[in-house]
Amino acid sequence: MSINPVSQIRDFITHAREHDKESAQLLSLLEKRAHYLHEAIKLPDDHAADLLADFVVRYIEQVPNFIEAITSIAQEAGIYDGVSPLLNIACDYFLSPPDIVNGHSHLETLLDEAYLAHRLLEEVNDRFIGYCGIPLAPMDMTRANIIAHELIGEPFANELDQAVLFSAELLLNEYGFSGENFQHYIDSHKARGWSEELERWPCLTDDLAIAVEFGEKPDKLH
């Protein structure tokens, strides 16, 4: 009997959180990193690391939530066969991470894997919008991905971005979002929006964002 990949991912997250409770490794890392984030990421002075740690955990946990939501939406719309390769790659970032990511026993490593999955979904969503005018799924993780990129740090985060672009190109070249069911899906959501899905899957609207104000020069760096 095969193991549900989403359940496996959640098990990885649970084990990593238990490990981190004992080691406080993530909090220690973020206490150092908080002082070197882009000046447009606004954080309170007194508990920046705690806020970032909460963000990281919720950011990681969003991946299995999103996969479940998109799976259900796609199955009900009759487009799952076209969407499943995308979801499989997102799962594989956790289950069989690329060589540039090492293991999955710690939250900081799961952050790398979650970043890959979120960026892939963002990239495909952006291209889907360019193709037909609506997203493939109604979530926007752009701001959260900016924060995650900063927490991972350069140049490694840029390497992860390149891995995502490579996967997205292969995916979109091999599997096109086309056919009668896809067209019905597009027409339906253009007409009625996403209110039903957003009500049913609150994870799609969960706001993970710490204040980000790119384009405005802050008074000081926190």
For residue range 169-192, list pLDDT tens digits in order: 888 888 778 889 999 999 999 999
Residue at 201 is within a domain: yes
Residue at 213 is within a domain: no
Give the Cα separation of 69 and 64 in Å (integer). 9
Stretches in the chain below the pLDDT threshold 50: 1, 104, 217-222
The whole-number pLDDT of residue 3 equals 65
Q: Whole-structure pTM over 0.85, yes or no?
A: yes
Which domain covers residue 166, as residue numbers? 5-205
The whole-number pLDDT of residue 214 equals 66
Question: What total of structural domains would you count in the chain?
Answer: 1
The whole-number pLDDT of residue 221 equals 31
Residue 151 tokens read as: 């927490």
Residue at 215 is within a domain: no
Residue at 217 is within a domain: no
Instruction: State the DSSP H helix or E strand holding residue 133, giving kind and residue range, or none if neither.
Output: none
Residue at 211 is within a domain: no
| Packing angle, helices 80-95 and 156-174, rounded to 10 | 150
Give the Cα separation of 95 and 147 in Å (integer). 24
The whole-number pLDDT of residue 190 equals 95
Give the Cα separation of 170 and 97 in Å (integer). 17
CB atoms within 10 A of CB 154: 10
The whole-number pLDDT of residue 220 equals 37
CB atoms within 10 A of CB 100: 12
Residue at 216 is within a domain: no
Residue at 90 is within a domain: yes
3-state DSSP assignment of residue 41:
strand
The dihedral through the CA atoms of 20, 47, 204, 122 has a sign that is negative
Residue at 180 is within a domain: yes
Asked if residues 135 and 129 have their Cβ atoms less than 8 Å apart, the reply is yes
Give the Cα separation of 178 and 4 in Å (integer). 28
